[in-house]
Amino acid sequence: MTTATINTPLSTSLDRPLRIGLVSISDRASAGVYQDQGLPALQEWFTGALVSAWSMHTRLIPDERTAIEQALIELVDEELCDLVITTGGTGPARRDVTPEATLAVASKEMPGFGEQMRQISLRFVPTAILSRQVAVIRETAEHAALILNLPGQPKSIKETLEGLKDVDGQPIVNGIFAAVPYCIDLIGGPYVETNESICKAFRPKSAIRPSTA
């Protein structure tokens, strides 16, 4: 189990940095059989996609429901992460228990995220219907966080977060991260700004602040 912190230097917002928890779930990667790819892929994506300040807290754990639940609880309740993203363990295999662990620590479900993730993946493979990715809110008395299950492959992680664009850079299908900053607003987290060339955050006009980037 490791924790790392990265801060982007581009924001002058008075809000505190966004705290992101990243959890890669893999029996073999956590045992050192091969190098984990999920955490580096997520770190690379957020480094390019966010222009407001953020910190990252990571976990690399096996496909064990108890370990997953513990990691999610720690990241929300102790590290006070605003956003927690898991990668791996969402298929139909017996050891794929990430959705069950995620639901077990949830206060409420956010089904639209899972629906959109499958719509994106179905553009590439018909087996996307086998994915069981879920999204939830975990709330404590003083804090709340959005928890998202993502695929395990770096290419799929990128497609799921930022969506698909045509040759002119126009969206074909929106990625899920377009809705994440406003969701974080609504649950009491910091105001998050994005690099619009990668992923344009959507907010109602009444919720948009002047850019600080």
* Residues 55-66 pLDDT 10s: 999 999 999 999
- How far is residue 65 from each of residues 16, 72, 90, 99, 177, measured CA to CA in Å? 32, 11, 12, 9, 26
Sequence spans of domains, the chain: 18-207
Q: What is the pTM of this model?
A: 0.92
- How far is residue 100 from each of residues 135, 145, 185, measured CA to CA in Å? 11, 17, 26
Residue 211 confidence (pLDDT) above 80: no
Fold of domain 18-207: Molybdenum Cofactor Biosythetic Enzyme; Chain A (3.40.980)
Per-residue confidence band for 172, with pLDDT thresholds at 50, 70 and 90: confident
pLDDT the model gives residue 10: 41
Structure tokens at 92: 């139909």
Per-residue confidence band for 212, with pLDDT thresholds at 50, 70 and 90: low
Which of 3-12, 21-30, 144-153, 161-170 shows the lowest mean pLDDT across its residues? 3-12
Read off the pLDDT of each residue in 19-31 and give the average, rounded to a whole number. 94
pLDDT the model gives residue 14: 44
